[in-house]
Structure 1
Amino acid sequence: MNPESSITHQDILIAGVGGQGILTIAGIIGTAAIERGLHVKQSEVHGMAQRGGAVVSHLRLSERPIASDLISRGRAHLLLAMEPMEGLRHLPFLRHDGVLVANSVPMRNLKTYPATEKLIAHIDRWQKRRLLDAEALARKAGTVRAVNSVLLGAASPFLMIPAEVIRDAVAGFFDYKGADVVEKNLLAFDLGRAASLEEQKGG
Protein backbone atom coordinates (compact mmCIF):
# COMPACT_ATOMS: atom_id res chain seq x y z
CA MET A 1 0.00 0.00 0.00
CA ASN A 2 3.03 2.28 -0.10
CA PRO A 3 1.94 5.58 -1.69
CA GLU A 4 5.44 6.43 -2.91
CA SER A 5 4.35 6.41 -6.55
CA SER A 6 1.77 9.17 -6.11
CA ILE A 7 3.01 11.40 -3.26
CA THR A 8 5.59 14.15 -3.76
CA HIS A 9 5.73 15.31 -0.14
CA GLN A 10 4.72 14.03 3.27
CA ASP A 11 4.40 15.63 6.70
CA ILE A 12 4.81 13.26 9.64
CA LEU A 13 4.29 13.96 13.34
CA ILE A 14 5.77 11.54 15.89
CA ALA A 15 4.46 12.04 19.42
CA GLY A 16 5.10 10.44 22.78
CA VAL A 17 7.11 10.94 25.93
CA GLY A 18 10.83 10.95 26.65
CA GLY A 19 12.55 7.59 26.50
CA GLN A 20 10.17 6.01 23.97
CA GLY A 21 12.48 6.23 20.98
CA ILE A 22 10.72 9.04 19.14
CA LEU A 23 13.92 10.56 17.83
CA THR A 24 15.09 7.10 16.77
CA ILE A 25 12.02 6.71 14.55
CA ALA A 26 12.51 10.18 13.10
CA GLY A 27 16.17 9.45 12.44
CA ILE A 28 15.43 6.17 10.69
CA ILE A 29 12.74 7.67 8.46
CA GLY A 30 14.98 10.64 7.70
CA THR A 31 17.88 8.37 6.76
CA ALA A 32 15.64 6.29 4.48
CA ALA A 33 14.27 9.45 2.87
CA ILE A 34 17.75 10.78 2.13
CA GLU A 35 18.66 7.39 0.66
CA ARG A 36 15.73 7.89 -1.75
CA GLY A 37 16.99 11.34 -2.71
CA LEU A 38 14.28 13.25 -0.83
CA HIS A 39 14.66 16.56 0.99
CA VAL A 40 14.21 16.26 4.75
CA LYS A 41 13.43 18.81 7.48
CA GLN A 42 13.16 17.74 11.10
CA SER A 43 12.59 19.50 14.40
CA GLU A 44 11.67 18.47 17.93
CA VAL A 45 9.55 20.04 20.61
CA HIS A 46 10.44 18.86 24.12
CA GLY A 47 8.50 19.06 27.35
CA MET A 48 10.40 18.09 30.48
CA ALA A 49 13.97 17.24 29.49
CA GLN A 50 13.83 13.76 31.00
CA ARG A 51 12.03 10.47 30.66
CA GLY A 52 8.31 11.02 30.99
CA GLY A 53 8.22 14.50 29.44
CA ALA A 54 6.37 15.07 26.18
CA VAL A 55 8.42 14.89 22.99
CA VAL A 56 7.10 15.65 19.50
CA SER A 57 9.10 15.32 16.30
CA HIS A 58 8.05 17.19 13.16
CA LEU A 59 9.38 15.37 10.10
CA ARG A 60 8.84 16.74 6.60
CA LEU A 61 9.78 14.87 3.40
CA SER A 62 9.60 16.24 -0.12
CA GLU A 63 10.93 15.88 -3.63
CA ARG A 64 11.49 19.66 -3.56
CA PRO A 65 13.31 21.92 -1.07
CA ILE A 66 11.36 22.51 2.16
CA ALA A 67 11.07 25.98 3.69
CA SER A 68 9.82 25.33 7.23
CA ASP A 69 10.63 22.49 9.59
CA LEU A 70 7.34 22.76 11.50
CA ILE A 71 4.01 21.18 10.58
CA SER A 72 0.89 23.31 11.01
CA ARG A 73 -2.32 22.02 12.54
CA GLY A 74 -4.46 20.16 10.06
CA ARG A 75 -1.53 19.50 7.70
CA ALA A 76 0.09 16.22 8.81
CA HIS A 77 -0.39 13.21 6.54
CA LEU A 78 0.62 10.79 9.30
CA LEU A 79 0.60 10.88 13.10
CA LEU A 80 2.63 8.17 14.80
CA ALA A 81 1.84 8.06 18.52
CA MET A 82 3.89 6.06 20.99
CA GLU A 83 0.98 5.94 23.42
CA PRO A 84 -2.77 6.72 23.19
CA MET A 85 -3.06 10.00 25.12
CA GLU A 86 -0.35 11.66 23.02
CA GLY A 87 -2.11 10.35 19.92
CA LEU A 88 -5.38 11.94 20.99
CA ARG A 89 -3.66 15.17 22.05
CA HIS A 90 -2.07 15.63 18.61
CA LEU A 91 -5.02 14.57 16.43
CA PRO A 92 -5.69 18.24 15.51
CA PHE A 93 -2.43 18.20 13.53
CA LEU A 94 -3.77 15.56 11.12
CA ARG A 95 -5.37 16.35 7.79
CA HIS A 96 -8.98 15.21 7.48
CA ASP A 97 -7.71 12.24 5.44
CA GLY A 98 -4.57 11.71 7.53
CA VAL A 99 -3.59 8.41 9.13
CA LEU A 100 -3.14 7.79 12.86
CA VAL A 101 -0.85 4.92 13.91
CA ALA A 102 -0.86 4.50 17.70
CA ASN A 103 0.23 2.17 20.46
CA SER A 104 -2.79 1.12 22.53
CA VAL A 105 -0.69 0.70 25.68
CA PRO A 106 -0.50 3.87 27.80
CA MET A 107 2.56 5.20 29.58
CA ARG A 108 1.02 6.25 32.87
CA ASN A 109 3.40 9.08 33.68
CA LEU A 110 0.64 11.22 35.21
CA LYS A 111 -1.35 10.59 38.40
CA THR A 112 -4.45 11.84 36.59
CA TYR A 113 -3.97 9.75 33.43
CA PRO A 114 -7.38 9.31 31.73
CA ALA A 115 -9.10 5.93 31.59
CA THR A 116 -7.58 3.94 28.74
CA GLU A 117 -10.94 2.78 27.40
CA LYS A 118 -12.07 6.40 27.00
CA LEU A 119 -8.91 7.28 25.08
CA ILE A 120 -9.33 4.26 22.81
CA ALA A 121 -13.00 5.13 22.20
CA HIS A 122 -12.02 8.61 21.01
CA ILE A 123 -9.22 7.27 18.81
CA ASP A 124 -11.57 4.70 17.28
CA ARG A 125 -13.65 7.54 15.88
CA TRP A 126 -10.81 8.48 13.53
CA GLN A 127 -11.51 6.87 10.18
CA LYS A 128 -7.95 6.08 9.06
CA ARG A 129 -6.17 4.53 12.01
CA ARG A 130 -4.00 1.65 13.11
CA LEU A 131 -4.23 0.96 16.83
CA LEU A 132 -2.14 -1.93 18.09
CA ASP A 133 -0.57 -3.39 21.21
CA ALA A 134 3.00 -2.56 20.25
CA GLU A 135 4.37 -3.87 23.55
CA ALA A 136 2.99 -7.35 22.94
CA LEU A 137 4.48 -7.44 19.44
CA ALA A 138 7.82 -6.14 20.75
CA ARG A 139 7.90 -8.94 23.33
CA LYS A 140 7.18 -11.40 20.54
CA ALA A 141 10.20 -9.97 18.71
CA GLY A 142 12.35 -10.60 21.78
CA THR A 143 12.58 -7.22 23.50
CA VAL A 144 10.07 -4.70 24.80
CA ARG A 145 12.61 -2.01 23.88
CA ALA A 146 11.61 -2.50 20.24
CA VAL A 147 8.16 -0.87 20.61
CA ASN A 148 9.30 2.00 18.39
CA SER A 149 10.35 -0.43 15.64
CA VAL A 150 6.93 -2.13 15.86
CA LEU A 151 5.17 1.20 15.40
CA LEU A 152 7.50 2.19 12.57
CA GLY A 153 6.60 -1.08 10.85
CA ALA A 154 2.89 -0.40 11.39
CA ALA A 155 3.31 3.06 9.84
CA SER A 156 5.40 1.83 6.90
CA PRO A 157 2.44 1.06 4.57
CA PHE A 158 1.55 4.76 4.71
CA LEU A 159 5.01 6.23 4.10
CA MET A 160 6.21 7.53 0.75
CA ILE A 161 9.34 5.41 1.10
CA PRO A 162 9.40 1.70 0.16
CA ALA A 163 9.38 -0.65 3.15
CA GLU A 164 12.63 -2.31 2.15
CA VAL A 165 14.46 1.03 2.24
CA ILE A 166 13.10 1.77 5.72
CA ARG A 167 14.02 -1.75 6.83
CA ASP A 168 17.59 -1.22 5.63
CA ALA A 169 17.70 2.03 7.61
CA VAL A 170 16.54 0.17 10.73
CA ALA A 171 19.37 -2.33 10.31
CA GLY A 172 21.88 0.45 9.77
CA PHE A 173 20.71 2.44 12.77
CA PHE A 174 21.06 -0.45 15.23
CA ASP A 175 24.17 -1.99 13.67
CA TYR A 176 26.49 -0.56 16.32
CA LYS A 177 24.52 -2.43 19.01
CA GLY A 178 25.25 -5.82 17.49
CA ALA A 179 23.56 -8.46 15.35
CA ASP A 180 21.11 -9.59 18.05
CA VAL A 181 19.66 -6.10 18.50
CA VAL A 182 19.44 -5.62 14.73
CA GLU A 183 17.63 -8.94 14.32
CA LYS A 184 15.10 -8.18 17.06
CA ASN A 185 14.33 -4.71 15.73
CA LEU A 186 13.90 -6.01 12.18
CA LEU A 187 11.52 -8.68 13.46
CA ALA A 188 9.64 -6.01 15.43
CA PHE A 189 9.38 -3.90 12.27
CA ASP A 190 8.08 -6.88 10.29
CA LEU A 191 5.51 -7.79 12.96
CA GLY A 192 4.22 -4.22 13.11
CA ARG A 193 3.96 -4.01 9.34
CA ALA A 194 2.18 -7.37 9.12
CA ALA A 195 -0.33 -6.31 11.79
CA SER A 196 -1.04 -3.06 9.95
CA LEU A 197 -1.50 -4.78 6.59
CA GLU A 198 -3.70 -7.46 8.16
CA GLU A 199 -5.99 -4.80 9.65
CA GLN A 200 -6.17 -3.12 6.25
CA LYS A 201 -7.17 -6.41 4.66
CA GLY A 202 -9.82 -7.01 7.29
CA GLY A 203 -11.39 -3.61 7.16
Structure 2
Amino acid sequence: MKKDIILSGVGGQGILSIATVIGKAALKDGLYMKQAEVHGMSQRGGDVQSNLRISDRPIASDLIPSGKCDLIISLEPMEGLRYLPYLSSEGWLVTNENPFVNITNYPAETDIKAELEKLPHKIVLDVDKVAKEAGSARVANIVLLGATVPFLGIDYEKIQTSIREIFERKGEAVVEMNLRALAAGKEIAEKLM
Protein backbone atom coordinates (compact mmCIF):
# COMPACT_ATOMS: atom_id res chain seq x y z
CA MET A 1 0.00 0.00 0.00
CA LYS A 2 1.30 3.43 -0.95
CA LYS A 3 -0.52 6.76 -1.09
CA ASP A 4 1.03 10.02 -2.20
CA ILE A 5 -1.19 12.93 -1.17
CA ILE A 6 -0.94 16.67 -1.79
CA LEU A 7 -3.00 18.88 0.50
CA SER A 8 -3.56 22.45 -0.64
CA GLY A 9 -5.45 25.54 0.34
CA VAL A 10 -5.10 29.01 1.77
CA GLY A 11 -3.61 29.92 5.11
CA GLY A 12 -6.08 29.49 7.96
CA GLN A 13 -8.34 26.94 6.25
CA GLY A 14 -7.03 23.96 8.24
CA ILE A 15 -4.96 22.09 5.67
CA LEU A 16 -2.26 21.28 8.19
CA SER A 17 -4.89 19.94 10.61
CA ILE A 18 -6.06 17.52 7.91
CA ALA A 19 -2.45 16.41 7.40
CA THR A 20 -2.04 15.91 11.14
CA VAL A 21 -5.15 13.71 11.39
CA ILE A 22 -4.17 11.59 8.37
CA GLY A 23 -0.58 11.24 9.59
CA LYS A 24 -1.63 10.25 13.10
CA ALA A 25 -4.16 7.73 11.77
CA ALA A 26 -1.59 6.26 9.35
CA LEU A 27 0.85 5.69 12.21
CA LYS A 28 -1.91 4.07 14.27
CA ASP A 29 -2.56 1.80 11.28
CA GLY A 30 1.10 0.68 11.36
CA LEU A 31 2.07 2.58 8.22
CA TYR A 32 5.18 4.63 7.44
CA MET A 33 4.63 8.34 6.85
CA LYS A 34 6.65 11.32 5.60
CA GLN A 35 5.43 14.89 5.34
CA ALA A 36 6.76 18.13 3.89
CA GLU A 37 4.94 21.44 4.35
CA VAL A 38 5.06 24.83 2.66
CA HIS A 39 3.28 27.50 4.65
CA GLY A 40 5.44 30.62 4.64
CA MET A 41 2.69 32.96 3.50
CA SER A 42 -0.10 31.25 5.42
CA GLN A 43 -0.48 34.12 7.87
CA ARG A 44 -1.44 36.38 4.97
CA GLY A 45 -3.90 34.11 3.24
CA GLY A 46 -1.23 32.68 0.96
CA ASP A 47 -0.79 29.22 -0.48
CA VAL A 48 -0.49 26.37 2.00
CA GLN A 49 0.62 23.02 0.66
CA SER A 50 1.70 19.76 2.21
CA ASN A 51 3.12 16.56 0.69
CA LEU A 52 2.02 13.52 2.67
CA ARG A 53 3.40 10.11 1.75
CA ILE A 54 2.01 6.97 3.38
CA SER A 55 3.20 3.42 2.76
CA ASP A 56 3.47 -0.03 4.27
CA ARG A 57 7.19 0.13 3.41
CA PRO A 58 9.87 2.68 4.35
CA ILE A 59 9.71 5.93 2.37
CA ALA A 60 12.91 7.50 1.05
CA SER A 61 11.75 11.05 0.22
CA ASP A 62 9.06 13.32 1.60
CA LEU A 63 8.46 15.02 -1.79
CA ILE A 64 6.06 13.69 -4.42
CA PRO A 65 7.35 13.63 -8.01
CA SER A 66 5.32 15.15 -10.86
CA GLY A 67 2.66 12.80 -12.19
CA LYS A 68 2.84 10.44 -9.19
CA CYS A 69 0.29 11.90 -6.77
CA ASP A 70 -2.65 9.62 -5.91
CA LEU A 71 -4.83 12.23 -4.25
CA ILE A 72 -5.06 16.02 -4.10
CA ILE A 73 -7.09 17.30 -1.16
CA SER A 74 -7.92 20.98 -1.58
CA LEU A 75 -9.95 23.40 0.50
CA GLU A 76 -9.74 25.94 -2.33
CA PRO A 77 -10.51 24.95 -5.95
CA MET A 78 -7.88 27.09 -7.70
CA GLU A 79 -5.21 25.81 -5.31
CA GLY A 80 -6.27 22.25 -6.16
CA LEU A 81 -5.94 23.00 -9.88
CA ARG A 82 -2.47 24.45 -9.28
CA TYR A 83 -1.14 21.00 -8.32
CA LEU A 84 -2.70 19.01 -11.19
CA PRO A 85 0.73 18.44 -12.84
CA TYR A 86 1.54 16.22 -9.84
CA LEU A 87 -1.61 14.10 -10.17
CA SER A 88 -1.26 10.65 -11.75
CA SER A 89 -3.61 9.66 -14.57
CA GLU A 90 -5.56 7.53 -12.08
CA GLY A 91 -5.37 10.08 -9.24
CA TRP A 92 -8.31 11.88 -7.67
CA LEU A 93 -8.94 15.52 -6.78
CA VAL A 94 -11.21 16.07 -3.78
CA THR A 95 -11.97 19.78 -3.42
CA ASN A 96 -14.23 22.39 -1.95
CA GLU A 97 -16.29 24.03 -4.69
CA ASN A 98 -16.20 27.45 -2.99
CA PRO A 99 -13.36 29.77 -3.95
CA PHE A 100 -11.46 31.85 -1.42
CA VAL A 101 -10.98 35.03 -3.46
CA ASN A 102 -8.02 36.82 -1.91
CA ILE A 103 -6.29 38.24 -5.00
CA THR A 104 -7.49 40.81 -7.51
CA ASN A 105 -6.82 38.65 -10.57
CA TYR A 106 -8.59 35.54 -9.28
CA PRO A 107 -10.04 33.62 -12.25
CA ALA A 108 -13.78 33.72 -12.89
CA GLU A 109 -15.67 31.08 -10.89
CA THR A 110 -17.13 29.70 -14.14
CA ASP A 111 -13.59 29.15 -15.48
CA ILE A 112 -12.58 27.28 -12.32
CA LYS A 113 -15.68 25.08 -12.53
CA ALA A 114 -15.03 24.40 -16.24
CA GLU A 115 -11.48 23.20 -15.44
CA LEU A 116 -12.77 20.98 -12.65
CA GLU A 117 -15.37 19.47 -14.98
CA LYS A 118 -12.59 18.31 -17.33
CA LEU A 119 -11.14 16.00 -14.69
CA PRO A 120 -12.06 12.31 -14.94
CA HIS A 121 -11.62 11.57 -11.20
CA LYS A 122 -12.96 14.25 -8.91
CA ILE A 123 -15.20 14.93 -5.97
CA VAL A 124 -16.30 18.55 -5.71
CA LEU A 125 -18.47 19.47 -2.75
CA ASP A 126 -19.69 22.47 -0.80
CA VAL A 127 -17.79 21.80 2.41
CA ASP A 128 -18.84 25.13 3.90
CA LYS A 129 -22.55 24.25 3.70
CA VAL A 130 -22.01 20.73 5.07
CA ALA A 131 -19.85 22.10 7.91
CA LYS A 132 -22.58 24.52 8.97
CA GLU A 133 -25.06 21.64 8.97
CA ALA A 134 -22.62 19.65 11.16
CA GLY A 135 -22.49 22.50 13.68
CA SER A 136 -19.90 25.09 12.63
CA ALA A 137 -18.23 26.55 9.55
CA ARG A 138 -14.95 25.90 11.39
CA VAL A 139 -15.15 22.14 10.64
CA ALA A 140 -15.12 22.57 6.84
CA ASN A 141 -11.65 21.03 6.71
CA ILE A 142 -12.87 17.92 8.52
CA VAL A 143 -15.81 17.60 6.10
CA LEU A 144 -13.25 17.60 3.29
CA LEU A 145 -11.15 15.03 5.18
CA GLY A 146 -14.25 12.83 5.43
CA ALA A 147 -14.69 13.04 1.65
CA THR A 148 -11.18 11.59 1.23
CA VAL A 149 -11.70 8.58 3.52
CA PRO A 150 -12.60 6.22 0.62
CA PHE A 151 -9.23 7.00 -1.02
CA LEU A 152 -6.87 6.90 1.96
CA GLY A 153 -6.62 3.18 2.65
CA ILE A 154 -6.57 3.90 6.39
CA ASP A 155 -8.98 2.32 8.85
CA TYR A 156 -11.90 4.73 9.45
CA GLU A 157 -11.93 4.04 13.19
CA LYS A 158 -8.28 5.10 13.41
CA ILE A 159 -9.13 8.38 11.69
CA GLN A 160 -11.97 8.90 14.18
CA THR A 161 -9.63 8.10 17.10
CA SER A 162 -7.05 10.57 15.77
CA ILE A 163 -9.68 13.32 15.56
CA ARG A 164 -10.77 12.53 19.10
CA GLU A 165 -7.17 12.73 20.39
CA ILE A 166 -6.34 15.94 18.52
CA PHE A 167 -9.48 17.83 19.57
CA GLU A 168 -10.15 16.36 23.04
CA ARG A 169 -8.48 19.30 24.80
CA LYS A 170 -11.21 21.53 23.30
CA GLY A 171 -14.00 19.51 24.89
CA GLU A 172 -16.40 16.73 23.99
CA ALA A 173 -18.76 19.02 22.05
CA VAL A 174 -15.94 20.02 19.66
CA VAL A 175 -14.87 16.38 19.27
CA GLU A 176 -18.43 15.28 18.44
CA MET A 177 -18.91 18.14 15.98
CA ASN A 178 -15.71 17.14 14.16
CA LEU A 179 -16.78 13.48 14.08
CA ARG A 180 -20.16 14.51 12.60
CA ALA A 181 -18.33 16.58 9.97
CA LEU A 182 -16.07 13.63 9.13
CA ALA A 183 -19.04 11.26 8.74
CA ALA A 184 -20.96 13.78 6.59
CA GLY A 185 -18.01 14.22 4.20
CA LYS A 186 -17.49 10.46 3.96
CA GLU A 187 -21.16 9.88 3.17
CA ILE A 188 -21.15 12.50 0.38
CA ALA A 189 -18.00 11.06 -1.22
CA GLU A 190 -19.41 7.54 -1.16
CA LYS A 191 -22.52 8.78 -3.01
CA LEU A 192 -20.49 10.74 -5.60
CA MET A 193 -18.04 7.96 -6.43
Could you say which residue in structure 2 is the equivalent of 1:124? 117
Change (3 A) 1:148 1:66: same
Partner of 1:66: 59
Structure 2 residue corresponding to 1:152, chosen from 145, 151, 157? 145
Q: For the residues of structure 1 that align with 2:147 and 2:42, how far apart are their CA atoms?
A: 28
CA distance in 2, matches of 1:124, 1:166: 30
Q: Bigger CA drift: 125-134 or 48-57?
A: 48-57
Residue range with higher mean Cα deviation, 177-186 or 47-56: 47-56
From 82, 95, 105, the equivalent of 1:89 is 82
The 2-side partners of 1:47 and 1:90 are apart by 17
Task: Give per-residue Cα distances to partners, 1:28-81, cap 9 Å, x unaligned.
Answer: 000000001111100101241414010100000011111100111111100001
Which of 25, 30, 43 is equivalent to 1:32? 25
- The structure-2 alpha-carbon separation of the partners of 1:168 and 1:103, relative to structure 1 and needing over 3 Å to count, comes to same
In 2, the alpha carbon distance for the partners of 1:168 and 1:51 equals 32
Look up the SS of the partner of 1:50 in the other structure.
helix
Q: Name the Cα RMSD after superposition.
A: 0.9
Matched, 1:188 2:181: yes
* CA distance 1:151–1:49, shift in 2 (3 Å): closer
Residue matched to 2:71 = 78
Give aligned-pair identity as a percent: 48
Query: How many residues align structurally?
Result: 193
Superposed CA deviations along residues 123-167 of structure 1, whole A, max 9, x for unmatched, are 111111100000000000010000110000001011110222112
Question: Which of residues 163, 169, 174 is equivalent to 1:176?
Answer: 169
Q: Following the alignment from structure 2 to structure 1, what is the Cα–Cα distance between the partners of residues 44 and 179?
A: 25
Contact 2:99 2:109 in 1 (8 A): yes
In structure 2, list runs of 5 or more residues that go unmatched: none
Counterparts in 2 of 1:106 and 1:49: CA distance versus 1, 3 Å: closer
Taking structure 2 as the reference length, the TM-score comes to 0.97
Which ranges in structure 1 are unaligned for 5 or more consecutive residues? 1-7
Contact 2:94 2:147 in 1 (8 A): yes
2:50 is matched with which residue: 43, 57, 72?
57
* Pairing 1:197–2:190 present: yes
Q: Which residue identity does 2:73 align to in structure 1?
A: L
Q: Which runs of 4+ in 1 moved over 2 A?
A: none
Distance in 1 of aligned mates of 2:158 and 2:42 = 32
Q: 2:94 aligns with which of 88, 98, 101?
A: 101
